[in-house]
A and B are shown apart, each in its own frame.
Chain A
Amino acid sequence: DTGVSQDPRHKITKRGQNVTFRCDPISEHNRLYWYRQTLGQGPEFLTYFQNEAQLEKSRLLSDRFSAERPKGSFSTLEIQRTEQGDSAMYLCASSATRTARGSYNSPLHFGNGTRLTVT
């Protein structure tokens, strides 16, 4: 039973560069979430997908951020023109929802995260 996988684990980049992170959810999970966590804080919601549709984006997600989930499986999060304030842990999570015979919404299962450092 593989969990949520994120790549890379660590990324160091210079201010102004673009970075892209990848998340592979648990295979039977149709929902995928991106969160950001800074030191000493809890994770903050960025965006989520149900299958390939991006259903909600937080105001934290500036226009420099874009997330995709093109085939409803893995997802990428790209940050353009990185700033030092983007330094954080980026967490991906997935969950399963079913609506046949009553709704079911599984808890979120998180990956190990990608730690971004912008110098």
Chain B
Amino acid sequence: AQKVTQAQTEISVVEKEDVTLDCVYETRDTTYYLFWYKQPPSGELVFLIRRNSFDEQNEISGRYSWNFQKSTSSFNFTITASQVVDSAVYFCARGGGGNKLTFGTGTQLKVEL
């Protein structure tokens, strides 16, 4: 199985701190997609970003940024100046044909005042 590993089970930070969530993936495919989803306590998985394997440009969206490095099979996610509303479980996922996704086990982020 082509796994997605999120080694950090839980991270606690104080508001306004920067935090990076790690994601390492396995793949035998040359073409694939990587995703990050947020799952707040309400349970709905909220799509954050998708990158394809041919695009290693880092991306920034507001306080969120993503660092895709094919050489290390990593797709890390950084939240700058974290806020309490960022508290959630964050999932990294890998997808191939058909959009069938393989998810990591998630990282619980707790942002405290």
Contacts and interface: CB of A to CB of B under 8 A. Distances in A.
Interface in B1-59: 4, 35, 37, 42-47, 50
A40 interface: yes
A112 B43 contact: yes
B43 A42 contact: no
B103 interface: yes
Interface string A89-111: 10101010100000001011111
Contacts, number: 57
A42 B106 contact: yes
Contacts of B101: 35, 43, 45, 108
A105 B43 contact: no
A104 to B, nearest CB: 11
B91 A42 contact: yes
Contact of B44 (A33, A35, A110, A115): A110
Interface residues of B, number: 21
Nearest to A44: B103
Per DSSP, chain A at the interface is strand
Contacts of B102: 45
Given A109-B47, A112-B44, A41 B105 contact: yes
Interface residues of A, number: 26
Contacts of B46: 110
Nearest to A3: B44
Nearest to B46: A110
A113 B99 contact: no
A91 B43 CA distance: 10
Contacts of B100: 33, 45, 48, 56
Contact of A48 (B37, B98, B105): B98
A91 B105 contact: no
A69 interface: no
Interface in A50-97: 55-56, 89, 91, 93, 95, 97
Interface of B: 4, 35, 37, 42-47, 50, 91, 93, 98-106
A-B complex: 9 closest residue pairs judged by Cβ atoms: A42-B103, A110-B45, A112-B44, A107-B50, A107-B47, A45-B100, A43-B103, A42-B91, A95-B99
